[in-house]
With several copies, the nearest count.
Chain A
Amino acid sequence: MDGVHDMGGRQGFGPIHYTPGAATFHAEWERRANALYGLAVRHGIFNMDEYRHGIERMDPRHYMGASYYERTLTSLATLLVEKGVVTRAELEQLAQGFVPLSAPAAPGRTNLPNRERFQPGDRVRVRDEFFAGHIRMPAYIRGKTGVVVRETPIYPFPDAHAHGVPAEDEPTFDVAFRSEDLWPQGADSALVHVGVFQSYLDRAT
């Protein structure tokens, strides 16, 4: 989905609030939220793609205003309700207030047809298509051409795995793009490497 979570290249942001050796956690509840979502994953209540999509499905205003661990918490609460572990009513009674949950998911999809096996050096083009479910293709590479650097052995296909749709595991390809191709006249010069699932790629002609 073309959600606000797809931040790569979006403008209007300011200086990085960088301090060397910065902390990971600020408050005690953040450590707990992080531990509890990990526990749910280990119990098989949801997988990492479902977890990430639970964050992406947050109301965009909430996403932009929430801290990192509030996003964790929102996905965790959403998935516990969606998976039937708890009702929203029970959760809100326990929390003594409104518990924001993410919007329902669009349907998933299985692996795409006409997948090709690419070799290092092959020129590939990211398919120019739009999918409303979970997808690990940042919008800034859509329709763009890059060069395969290596193949990485198979992973679950996110567009299926986040939605409970059966699919084969797929290779991903480390594809190098020139920043000048991604953002003509609008980027610092660099090679940008993106891990791209086989279903998202065509051979460049």
Chain B
Amino acid sequence: MDDQRIAPTRTASVEQRTDAIQAVMEARGMQPGAAIDSAYQLAEEEWVPLNGGRIVAKAWTDPAFRQRLLANGKAAAAELGLSMPPHHRHLVALENTADLQNVIVCTLCSCTAFTIIGLPPEWYKDLDYRARAVRQSRTVLKEMGLDLPASTEIRVWDTTTDTRYMVIPTQPPETIGWPEDKLAAIVTKDAMIGVARLPGT
């Protein structure tokens, strides 16, 4: 790649490597500092599970929206002012029922609908989840605290293309009739990945 360099003996730390790349981008006029500040703000304030929660709450309460969501997730999200990066061309909403549990994994890397449900949690990116969720789905869910009855079918969705998935959990019965904003707040990231159900469901 660049054979003339004198190979240093000590591997630079991850911090040193990050600093070096940031310095290069700074020198090339790419304004990495602003990008980092913006990424902090996006991760903390914009790409929050409440986005997905709002979609789920509206799907629970508005049958026409639910139909539009199932037909074209990205357009339905846009109705709520929620966007996705350009390369995420499609969003597929997967509806759980009492007898069906949808679970999302990315065996090849760690793809997630991150603008909608938030950045992926650490365990989702770990090799263990990527290796096992697709082959030992019921066992893995049980280990994670979701002990499904044998009658519940499991569908695993491996995110191998840039289509993104989100799970629509079943609505807790005691929340029927709640206002959308209150419903949106009870929907967790883990339930939208499909490794958890909401309390009472």
Contacts and interface: CB of A to CB of B under 8 A. Distances in A.
Interface in A162-195: 172, 174, 176, 179, 182-183, 186-195
Which interface class (under 10, 10 to 19, 20 to 34, 35 or more) fits B?
35 or more
Contacts of B162: 48, 155
Given A36-B21, A94-B20, A187 B123 contact: no
A8 B12 contact: no
A196 B108 CA distance: 13
Contact of A32 (B18, B153, B157): B18
A15 B143 contact: yes
Which interface class (under 10, 10 to 19, 20 to 34, 35 or more) fits A?
35 or more
Nearest to A52: B109
A102 B155 CA distance: 31
Nearest to A154: B89
A195 B129 contact: no
A138 B158 contact: yes
A8 B135 contact: yes
Interface in A132-178: 136-138, 140, 152-153, 155, 172, 174, 176
B181 interface: no
B21 A136 contact: no
Interface in A85-119: 85-92, 94-101, 104
Given A22-B123, A31-B36, A183-B135, A85 B24 contact: yes
B161 to A, nearest CB: 4
Interface in A65-79: 67-70, 73, 76-77
Interface in B87-128: 87, 89-90, 92, 105, 107-110, 118-123, 125-128
A92 B123 CA distance: 29
Contacts of B105: 8
B109 A16 contact: no
Interface stretch (B27-35, B52-60, B76-84, B167-175): B27-35
A27 to B, nearest CB: 8
Q: Would you list the 8 A-B pairs with minimal beta carbon distance, nearest first?
A: A97-B12, A8-B107, A35-B39, A195-B161, A94-B20, A95-B12, A89-B5, A95-B20
